[in-house]
């Protein structure tokens, strides 16, 4: 009986030690991870030209480029790309599987409630990817309603919420894991439109001549939205240092040399728009 108790006590103690150790590891700040020689894990999904993995597995796209440049200015070069589904980005950050989200997210209230954002890195609008020539003359969500048409958008994209808010019926909206699946549905005629940000829309049309885009100036959705890079709340000190380095970097020759190959132009600079104001929007 004593031997059993001793073994049970040791087993329980070991289990508790592992549990406590795991809890501590998960609670480590990014600065602590860096001090222990760990890499800075950049979380993103395949959403070119914002963020994507290169053929060699490296982090590509202008959001990754901005993050990597700024981290380098801060003295950090040990960066690890982590490719995942768009809908998994915030859960991965909260669970400690990635350290920074570089996917290219609009700063909106619901996301601000789940993670902290850097200062804005750009301001962008949305539009429809449609069959070439836009045969059904789609420009707004109301056009989908009036013609009883369907749309597909990636899970977690603001356009899903915007479409529902505009009155598009639930049975006319399909949610898929990512842009690849959404564009495949359009290519095969299973949907009429894919509402996404204008940069992804232009990129899709450039890569596939069966696609076109609706007029971004005529699109009625949300106003131009700012994009930021995501951090855990416990990394607020690191985020503050990141913002300090970002301030001098935004609009610089170094930045434009990095982002121009991925279709970012000076017109996308956020100007006086702020993360604080964006976090109040839906």
Residue with tokens 């909106």: 108
Decide which of 163, 183, 213 is a domain's last residue.
Answer: 213
Same domain, residue pair 194 and 251: no
Is residue 280 situated within a structural domain? no
Same domain, residue pair 115 and 152: no
- Chain center to CA of 106: 7
How many domains would you assign to the chain? 2
The single-letter DSSP state of residue 47 is B
Statement: the pTM of the whole predicted model exceeds 0.85: no
With 0-12 CB in 10 A as exposed, 13-18 as middle and 19+ as buried, what is 191? buried
- State the sign of the Cα–Cα–Cα–Cα dihedral 144, 211, 174, 222: negative
Same domain, residue pair 144 and 112: no
Is residue 282 situated within a structural domain? no
Kindly report, residue by residue over 39-57, the tens digit of the pLDDT: 999 999 999 999 999 999 9
**Whole-number mean pLDDT of the chain?**
90
User: Contact, 79 vs 39, CB < 8 A?
Assistant: yes
d(CA 106, CA 227): 4
> Is 271 strand, coil or helix?
coil
Kindly report, residue by residue over 103-148, the tens digit of the pLDDT: 899 999 999 999 999 999 999 999 999 999 999 999 999 999 999 9
Is residue 22 situated within a structural domain? no
Domain that holds residue 35: 31-123+224-275
d(CA 274, CA 36): 33
Task: Output phi, psi for 124, to 5 deg.
Answer: -145, 160
- Chain center to CA of 145: 28
The torsion of the CA quartet 273, 215, 187, 46, rounded to 10 degrees, works out to: -20
Two tokens, residue 138: 């789609």
Kindly report, residue by residue over 166-214, the tens digit of the pLDDT: 999 999 999 999 999 999 999 999 999 999 999 999 999 999 999 999 9
Same domain, residue pair 238 and 99: yes
Two tokens, residue 68: 């990597």
d(CA 40, CA 42): 6
Residue 199 belongs to a domain with what CATH number?
3.40.190.10
Is residue 180 situated within a structural domain? yes
Same domain, residue pair 118 and 62: yes
Residue 28's pLDDT band (boundaries 50, 70, 90)? confident
* Cβ-based neighbour number of residue 86 at 10 Å: 22
């Amino acid at each position: 009986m004593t031997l059993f108790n001793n073994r049970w006590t040791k087993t329980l103690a070991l289990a508790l030690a592992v549990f406590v150790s795991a809890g501590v590891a998960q609670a480590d700040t990014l600065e602590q991870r860096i001090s222990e020689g760990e890499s800075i894990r950049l979380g993103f999904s395949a959403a070119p030209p914002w963020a994507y993995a290169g053929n060699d597995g490296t982090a590509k796209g202008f959001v990754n480029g901005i993050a990597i440049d700024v981290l380098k200015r801060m003295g950090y070069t040990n960066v690890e790309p982590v490719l995942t589904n768009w809908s998994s980005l915030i859960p991965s950050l909260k669970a400690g599987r990635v350290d920074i989200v570089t996917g290219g997210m609009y700063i909106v209230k619901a996301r601000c409630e789940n993670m902290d954002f850097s200062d804005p890195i750009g301001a962008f609008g949305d539009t429809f990817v449609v069959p070439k020539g836009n045969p059904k003359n789609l420009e707004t969500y109301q056009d989908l309603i009036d013609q009883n048409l369907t749309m597909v958008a990636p899970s977690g994209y603001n356009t899903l919420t915007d479409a529902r808010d505009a009155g598009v019926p639930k049975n006319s909206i399909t949610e898929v894991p990512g842009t690849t699946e959404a564009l495949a549905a359009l290519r095969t005629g299973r949907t009429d439109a894919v509402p996404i940000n204008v940069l992804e829309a232009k990129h899709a049309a450039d890569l596939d001549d069966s696609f076109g885009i609706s007029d971004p100036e005529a699109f009625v959705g949300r106003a131009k939205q700012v994009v930021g890079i995501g951090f855990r709340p416990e990394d607020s000190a690191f985020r503050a240092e990141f913002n300090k380095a970002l301030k001098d970097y935004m609009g610089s020759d170094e930045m434009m040399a990095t982002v121009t190959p991925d279709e970012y132009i000076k017109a996308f600079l956020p100007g006086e728009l702020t993360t604080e104001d964006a976090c109040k929007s839906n």
